[in-house]
Amino acid sequence: MKVLITGGAGFIGSNLVRYLGEQGDCSVRVLDDLSTGRRENLQGVAADFVEGSILDYEAVKEAARGMDSIVHLGAIPSVPRSIANPRASHEANTTGTLNVLEAAREVGVDHVVVASSSSVYGSNPKLPKSEYDWTRPMSPYAVSKQATEGYALAYQFSYGLKTLAFRFFNVYGPLQPANHPYAAVIPKFLDAALNDRPAQVHGDGEQSRDFTYVDTVCSVIHEAVRLQIHSQDPVNLAYGTNTTLTALLTEIEDQLGHSVARQHTEPRTGDVRASQADNSRVKELFPAVKPVGLHDGLAATIAWFKQEADQA
């Protein structure tokens, strides 16, 4: 099985490259412009690396040639980043997706997996959130991800392309960077806790998230590629957990064996209050996948952060 991974030098992408290599049934090509990904993330991993942008249609088309599946992870992530620069998020996340789908259609790749986001649910207060519930994006990032999944599904109906749009929910794990202004909450908390700094909490800390360990995501995507699974509706890629940031910090304290100071700030524009997936569809489509729980996933992530600190 030949798989192209766009954004394969990023956090999720590089974990997926490594995971697919360990399964032994996939050869991988990576397309990444290294704007947010890091070449070092792929050290020691067998993959054909192509430096290029998903906004360069010819580069996407050449990278896609001869592939059996494309896993499209290339994007500009982060709600705050999209609020600061909505046009850049639109171009990378929406036009980039269109380029990937059109390239697949032109060179004959039949199967495309795309990464959408739980952020598309936005202001819908219902918990857990089902793929059949209404969406109401609250940020340019969320709008761009709704367009990502919309284009993928439209190409299925219009051209017969086998597509699968996953809605990711707060993925975390090794290789997730903490050293930039738009870092996700778990690496930010761990970086603060391991360096004796207060953890910055936006709001009261009672906002909740469905944290999903990156190996769980990789396992599901591997099954999707291996079995060429596709769907006419988006699929939540999360397993229905509901953890507040306060509870997350308590778990981090328990695993580290010391307290972590909190510094509360104003809530961030565009952030949703609560997020939890209805997991019935992902369990139905991928019954063999056993998700990694927060305790074990956090332990593996802490171990990686400590290893990185020792090597610095």
Each residue's pLDDT tens digit, 65-84 = 999 999 999 999 999 999 99
Break the chain into its structural domains and give their ranges.
Answer: 2-170+211-239
> How high does pLDDT run on average in the chain?
95
Per-residue confidence band for 309, with pLDDT thresholds at 50, 70 and 90: confident
For residues 286 and 263, give the distance between their C-alpha atoms in angstroms, rounded to a whole number. Answer: 40
Helix axes 11-23, 214-227, angle to 10 degrees: 60
Homologous superfamily in CATH for domain 2-170+211-239: NAD(P)-binding Rossmann-like Domain (3.40.50.720)
Per-residue confidence band for 312, with pLDDT thresholds at 50, 70 and 90: low
Burial bucket for residue 83 (CB in 10 Å: 0-12, 13-18, 19+): middle
Nearest to 128 by CA among 209, 20, 32: 209
Helix axes 140-159, 96-107, angle to 10 degrees: 20
Q: How far apart are the first and last CA of the chain?
A: 37
The region, left, alpha or beta by phi > 0 then psi within -120 to 50, assigned to residue 78 is: left
Per-residue pLDDT, 72 = 98
What percentage of the chain carries pLDDT values higher than 70?
100
**What mean pLDDT comes out for the span 255-261?**
95
> Which residue, chain included where needed, has tokens 């519930």?
133
Task: Read off the DSSP letter of residue 20.
Answer: H
Instruction: Check whether 180 has a pLDDT greater than 90.
Output: no
For residues 166 and 120, give the distance between their C-alpha atoms in angstroms, rounded to a whole number. Answer: 12
Tell me the pTM: 0.95
Instruction: Check whether 55 has a pLDDT greater than 90.
Output: yes
**What mean pLDDT comes out for the span 147-159?**
98
